[in-house]
């Protein structure tokens, strides 16, 4: 999985427990990003719909969520990946733009990205393997980049991992079918059928995914766009069409409220952290359209409290959520008894470090 701002690796055990306890047969991951959470839901046996506006997220969702591992010929896929790994580098747009004008990758790896990406387009476009091969290439490139995890800048000295040779691996696909939707959550959410559990993990502030991961957008689009600035960002990063309403301070609260109200689900779960433009209390009010609301709070290492301003797992009062910094929250909304049952079920779950 790629390095990703706001990725919910630590919360996966809690979210998985919620999905299992809700006995969710159908689940929605509305801002799926790496698809990490959607994958965890799929592993529980749920039929998952994964939605995101990023092109690379759509590629991940088509590989990990809508591809069924039981229908993929693993030997054939492995042979194709071995063949791609054997291709010699041929410098092109990627090398010139992201290895010479900017320094996101070493040129010897950039040339291999150019050669492999061209081959995927030429030989596999339109096939069921296409998103799986793109996923393999994106993840391989991420393992040898020279950034701090975002693509607004590259590090001055080459990162140690950038010296490693780019190597594609066979993605660990999951059994079962699912649905991937590439689009704006605000448009997509109201069109989706009702599901058992919907998870929403929207951006919370000004940090745009389109610019932070512009290299991945270009690697998927493979359209050799004009670029600007030291980071060689795509010129269309300046277009309004590539800007998310969730990154606009004045518009975000209303958009968040609308997208929460727009999902149809028995249980609605929303992630949130205290760097957001909305407060936990505002988020709780937004979720009240779906019934009873409780909030789980986690600090950087451990579970610190259930239900805003109320208790820790030992039943001790831990103070108001709004007074504690650097926390992540999981807001759960639905029928009162079910929400209580879900909160109880998370009490012994340890979040990751
Ligand atoms: C906090 S990240 C999600 C991280 C994800 N849960 C994970 O663990 O990888 C937010 C995601 O929202 C997506 N996004 C931003 N604006 C969007 C919109 N209007 N509609 C759909 N997705 C959007 C971004 O591309 C990004 O992947």
Q: Is the pLDDT reported for residue 274 higher than 80? A: no
**Ligand 1 centroid to residue 34 C-alpha, Å:** 9
Ligand 1 pocket member 4 (CB < 6 A): yes
Candidate from 142-151, 284-293, 298-307 with smallest mean pLDDT: 298-307
**Do residues 209 and 52 lie in contact, with contact meaning Cβ atoms separated by under 8 Å?**
no
- Residue to probe by mutation, ligand 1, list 135, 187, 203, most atoms within 8 Å of CB: 203
Mean pLDDT of 264-286: 91
How far is the C-alpha of 117 from the C-alpha of 222, rounded, in Å?
8
How far is the C-alpha of 151 from the C-alpha of 56, rounded, in Å?
14
Mean pLDDT of 261-284: 91
pTM of the full structure: 0.93
Ligand 1 pocket member 8 (CB < 6 A): yes
Ligand 1 pocket member 94 (CB < 6 A): no
Q: Is the pLDDT reported for residue 311 higher than 60? A: no
- Residue to probe by mutation, ligand 1, list 19, 33, 142, 251, most atoms within 8 Å of CB: 33
Ligand 1 atom 18 nearest Cα:
184
- Count of CB atoms within 10 A of residue 300's CB? 11
**Ligand 1 centroid to residue 35 C-alpha, Å:** 10
Q: Could you read off the pLDDT of 70-110 as tens digits, one per residue?
A: 999 999 999 999 999 999 999 999 999 999 999 999 999 99
Ligand 1 pocket member 266 (CB < 6 A): no
Mean pLDDT of 232-245: 93
Q: Could you read off the pLDDT of 121-171 as tens digits, one per residue?
A: 999 999 999 999 999 999 999 999 999 889 998 888 999 999 999 999 999
Nearest to 275 by CA among 204, 202, 201: 204
Q: Could you read off the pLDDT of 55-75 as tens digits, one per residue?
A: 999 999 999 999 999 999 999
Confidence band, pLDDT 50/70/90 cuts, at residue 310: very low
Q: Which atom of ligand 1 is nearest to the CA of 185?
A: 20
**Ligand 1 centroid to residue 32 C-alpha, Å:** 6
Ordered alpha helix ranges (H), 198-323: 209-212, 214-221, 252-262, 280-287
Ligand 1 pocket member 6 (CB < 6 A): yes
Report the pLDDT value the prediction gives residue 291, as an integer from 0 to 100.
Answer: 97
Report the pLDDT value the prediction gives residue 353, as an integer from 0 to 100.
Answer: 61
Residue 119, token pair as written in the block: 């081959």
* Dihedral class, residue 296 (left if φ above 0, else alpha if ψ from -120 to 50, else beta): beta
How far is the C-alpha of 323 from the C-alpha of 231, rounded, in Å?
38
Q: Is the pLDDT reported for residue 317 higher than 80? A: no
The residue with greater pLDDT, 205 or 200, is: 200
Q: Which atom of ligand 1 is nearest to the CA of 245?
A: 19
How far is the C-alpha of 213 from the C-alpha of 205, rounded, in Å?
16
The residue with greater pLDDT, 44 or 329, is: 44
Cα 3 vs. chain centroid, distance in angstroms?
A: 10
Q: Which atom of ligand 1 is nearest to the CA of 9?
A: 8
Report the pLDDT value the prediction gives residue 312, as an integer from 0 to 100.
Answer: 41
**Ligand 1 centroid to residue 180 C-alpha, Å:** 14
């Amino acid at each position: 999985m790629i390095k990703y701002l706001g990725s919910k690796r630590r919360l996966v055990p809690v979210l998985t427990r919620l999905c299992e306890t809700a006995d969710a047969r159908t689940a929605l991951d509305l801002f799926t990003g790496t698809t990490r959470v959607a994958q965890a839901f799929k592993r529980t046996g749920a039929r998952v719909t994964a939605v995101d506006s990023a092109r690379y997220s759509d590629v991940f969702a088509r590989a990990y969520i809508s591809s069924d591992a039981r229908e993929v010929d693993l030997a054939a896929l492995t042979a194709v990946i071995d063949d791609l790994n054997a291709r010699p580098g041929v410098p092109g747009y990627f090398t010139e733009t992201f290895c010479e004008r900017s320094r996101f990758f070493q040129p010897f790896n950039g040339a291999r990205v150019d050669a492999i990406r061209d081959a995927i387009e030429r030989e596999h476009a339109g096939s069921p393997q296409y998103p799986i091969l793109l996923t393999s290439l994106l993840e391989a490139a991420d393992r040898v980049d020279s950034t701090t995890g975002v693509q607004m800048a590259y590090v001055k000295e080459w990162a140690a991992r950038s010296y490693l040779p780019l190597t594609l691996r066979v993605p660990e696909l999951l059994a079962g079918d699912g649905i991937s939707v590439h689009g704006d959550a605000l448009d997509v959410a109201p069109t989706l059928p009702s599901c058992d559990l919907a998870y929403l993990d929207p951006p919370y502030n000004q940090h745009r995914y389109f610019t932070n991961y512009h290299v991945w957008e270009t690697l998927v689009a493979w359209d050799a766009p004009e670029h600007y600035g030291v980071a060689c960002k795509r010129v269309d990063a300046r277009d309004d069409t590539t800007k998310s309403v969730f990154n606009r301070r004045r518009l975000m609260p209303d958009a968040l409220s609308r997208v929460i109200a727009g999902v149809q689900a028995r249980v609605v779960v929303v992630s949130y952290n205290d760097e957001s433009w909305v407060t936990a209390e505002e988020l709780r009010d937004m979720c009240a359209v779906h019934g009873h609301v409780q909030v789980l709070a986690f600090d950087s290492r451990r579970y610190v409290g259930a239900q805003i301003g109320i208790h820790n797992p030992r039943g001790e009062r831990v103070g108001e959520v709004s007074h504690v910094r650097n926390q992540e929250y999981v807001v759960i909304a639905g029928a009162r008894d079910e929400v209580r049952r879900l909160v109880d079920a998370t009490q012994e779950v340890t979040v990751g470090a």
